Amino acid sequence: MTTRRRRMHLLAIPIAVLMVCTSLAAQRGSAEYDRLGREILKELVETDTTQTTGNTTLAAERMAARLLAAGFPRADVQVVGNAERRGNLVARYRGRGTRKPVLFLAHLDVVDARREDWTFDPFVLTERDGFFYGRGTLDVKGGAATLMTTFVRLRQEGFVPDRDLILALTADEEGGNNNGVQWLLANRRDLIDAEYCINVDAGGGELRHDKLVALDVQAAEKVYVSFTLTVRNPGGHSSLPTKENAIYRLAAGLQRLASLEFAARTTDVTRGYFSRMADLSSGQQAADMRAMAGEPLDQAAVARLSAGSAFYNALLRTTCVATMVQAGHAENALPQTAQAIVNCRMLPDDKSADVQQALERALADPKIVVAPVAPPVPSSPSPLAPEVFTAIETVSQAMWGHVPIVPLMETGATDGLFLRNAGMPVYGVTGIAYDVDDVRSHGKDERILVRSYYDGIQFIYRLATALGRADHPSPKH
């Protein structure tokens, strides 16, 4: 061994020791914040924030207390809103102010869940067989908890970004009286005004057969609109039934509506999605996905993709489905009214009036009156900002290797549409990967993978640091 090589060998020993010590310290730090993340997730899931019996203000106050305990100034942590039980948390992490802030968004409210419908208590965080079960774990208290854990960690580590980072945990995304993002835009836009928004209520890692195959970033979303289907009848005594019955007429119309299928169409975003996913697929499915770039669409390929995945079907067309039925007024009376709610998710360039006409044609009964519940609120796609996608790709590659970053049109609806319409680009992404064929949000036994949740904590922490672009060491990992 030469003298130079010997010196390099001797020099490498302390460097190697330092790297090992740094790695061990990072692992301990990560484990510490995993534990914190679990505590926060448990607290959020076990705080009822449903529309009927819940209280987002209580959840917001509990999260505010955690931020204050971590050292946030009281002036930078606010619980605001105009309804006693529908409050929002907005917190500002102060930076150098050299660029406009970034907004990180999640909602606190969840849809109702009945204990008798679930295997586990929906309002108790249950860990079983590698999953966290509980209402909101996927939609979207898991995402909210990753944001909370990140903001606490950055504060405790003394991170100084070159821009402010804003955290907003809001009410009424799942319905209600617009006390969340819409209220903030109308009344306290100064609290959330930002260059763009990272919304953890959309996008995320796609798991196929337990393997991460892509990381979706939502840049557009379908348009939410619901319709009432109403049948009215004079009614009468139940002991004197007639052939004309409001319930039977509505039921017959709904049966015809069940076969309604809108024509498949693609957009720039969905063509890009299928093109990227084709590279990750094989055989017939890969060929079918590549066919989605052509015009006119290959209908056989459309049929195979739609039949094989509810997700692909929803990406390709407007969908409408009956979600609620209400009829009658007494056990011993003929029904005077029967009504159903049909919820539609329209492709961005579809028109509500055209969808209503399609429903009326499918029902084929002028006595079933169709009317929109409320006007739809469409939003234009966000531009694919290089700063955002580069940061996401860098973080993703460091965590998972070469996983494609795929722009996505969300099949559901999020509060991102209100921000987009107010002029703020929105990018939906979370580090919590999920099986796209086992999406249980709004349903029975909602769950997320435990390992995916902890990955989600690390992903948001690294992404927030990357977007802060501060004069600060790389994120600890």
C-alpha separations of 181 from 105, 131, 140, 145 in Å = 9, 30, 15, 18
Q: Which pLDDT score is estimated for 412?
A: 85
Q: What is the pLDDT of residues 179-199, one digit of tens each?
A: 999 999 999 999 999 999 999
Q: Which pLDDT score is estimated for 208?
A: 85
- Residue 29: pLDDT band (50, 70, 90) is low
- Residue 269: pLDDT band (50, 70, 90) is confident
CB 462 within 8 A of CB 395: yes
Which distant-in-sequence residues (6+ apart) come within 8 Å of 254 by Cβ? 229, 322, 325, 340
Report CA 465 to chain centroid distance, whole Å: 22
The rounded distance, in Å, linking the Cα atoms of 449 and 472 is 32
Q: What is the pLDDT of residues 331-346, one digit of tens each?
A: 999 999 999 999 999 9
CATH superfamily name and code, 24-202+414-468: Zn peptidases (3.40.630.10)
User: For residue 151, which amino acid is it?
Assistant: F
Strand partners, 408: 218
Mean pLDDT of 306-313: 94
Which distant-in-sequence residues (6+ apart) come within 8 Å of 347 by Cβ? 222, 223, 265, 267, 317, 318
> Residue 275 is encoded by which pair of tokens?
């093109």
- Residue 476: pLDDT band (50, 70, 90) is very low
Q: Which pLDDT score is estimated for 178?
A: 87
Q: What is the pLDDT of residues 80-100, one digit of tens each?
A: 999 999 999 999 999 999 999
Average pLDDT of every residue of the chain: 91
Q: Which pLDDT score is estimated for 420?
A: 96
Q: Answer yes or no: is pLDDT of 21 > 50.
A: no
Q: For a pLDDT cut of 70, what percent of the chain falls above it?
A: 92
Domain ranges of the chain: 24-202+414-468, 223-372
CB 153 within 8 A of CB 167: no
Residue with the bigger pLDDT between 128 and 24: it is: 128
The rounded distance, in Å, linking the Cα atoms of 215 and 159 is 27
Please give the helix or strand (H or E) that residue 34 lies within, else none: helix 3-45
C-alpha separations of 248 from 196, 244, 254, 327, 428 in Å = 50, 8, 10, 10, 43
Mean pLDDT of 148-164: 97
Mean pLDDT of 63-85: 97
Q: Answer yes or no: is pLDDT of 358 > 50.
A: yes
CATH fold of 223-372? Alpha-Beta Plaits (3.30.70)
Q: Which pLDDT score is estimated for 30?
A: 82
